[in-house]
Structure 1
Amino acid sequence: MNFLLEHWYLLLTAVLSGGLLLWPSLSKAGGGVATAEAVRLINREKAVLIDVCEPEEFAAGHATGARNIPLSTLEGHKQLPSNKALPVVVMCQTGARAARAAGILRKLGHEKAQPLTGGLKAWREANLPTERSAG
C-alpha cells in the first residue's frame, strides 16, 4: 500500500491506459455501424438505406440505392419502410444527423435503426458505389 501512495503516478498511468484501450468499444455503445456491416445488413438482411440529407446535398451525391428522407420530414414520411422489423441504416454527410435520425426512428418503432458511422464520407472512403441525382 505504501508503494502505491509513493508512486501514485504509476497507478494513474495504468488506469488511463486501460481507459484508452476500452474507449473504442465504449464509444460504440450508442451504436453506429461501419460501412462493411452496413453492406452486410443491406445484402443479407434486406436493410433499407435512408439518407437524411437535404435534397440539394442528396442530388450532389449519395449512396447508390439510398432513399432521401430529410431529417426535418422524417416522422410519418411515406418512404419509411412499413415493415418495422427490417434493419434501417441511416446516413448523412458525416454521421451527425444520422445519429439523431436513428434515435427518432427507434422511437417510431424501427428498433433496428442504426446510423452509418462516418456517413457518406466513410462510404466513399470504402469505395462503395455512389451516384448523383439528375437535375
Structure 2
Amino acid sequence: MEQVNPSIKHFLRAYSGINQQDWTKWLPMAEFAYNNAVHSSTGKTPFKALYGWEPTLTPSNVPTDVPEANKLAQTMEAQWEEVEAALWQSKTCMTAREGGSLIEFEIGEEAWLDAKNVNLKTLSPKLMEQCLGPFKVTKKIFNQAYQLNLPPTM
C-alpha cells in the first residue's frame, strides 16, 4: 500500500491545485488515473490486468441540462490540459538532464518554478504543487538562472 500513496498524492496535487480544500472531491479521479496508468511491474494498467480492457474517460462536448455536470467537465478538461503540459515539461527536463545539457529559456518564454524552496502557506504541504507556474521569463541572470514574473501574492 505504501507504494500507492506517492502516486495518489501526485495525482491529487495535479487535480486539487492550490485550493487543496476540494481534494476529497478528486479522490475518484485519482483512483481512476492510478488504475489507468501502466505499472512497471506488470507492463499493464490495473484495469487491463484485472478486466482485460482499458476504459477511457473524456468529457463530452455535448451540453447537458445539468450545469454542475458541465462545470465539472470543463474543470476536468482544464486540469487534464494542465497535467499534460506539466508532464511534457517534466519529460523535457528529464531528457535534457540525461543528455547532460540544461534547458535555456528566452525572455518571454514560460518556465516552471521548482517549489522546493518556496515557502507557501498551504493547508497540506503533502499536496502542495512540486512545480509552480508556468511563469514568464523576464530576465536572464546567468546560465540556467532566470527572473520570473511571479504574482504579487508570492
TM-score (norm 1): 0.28
TM-score normalised to the size of structure 2? 0.26
**Greater Rg, structure 1 or structure 2?**
1
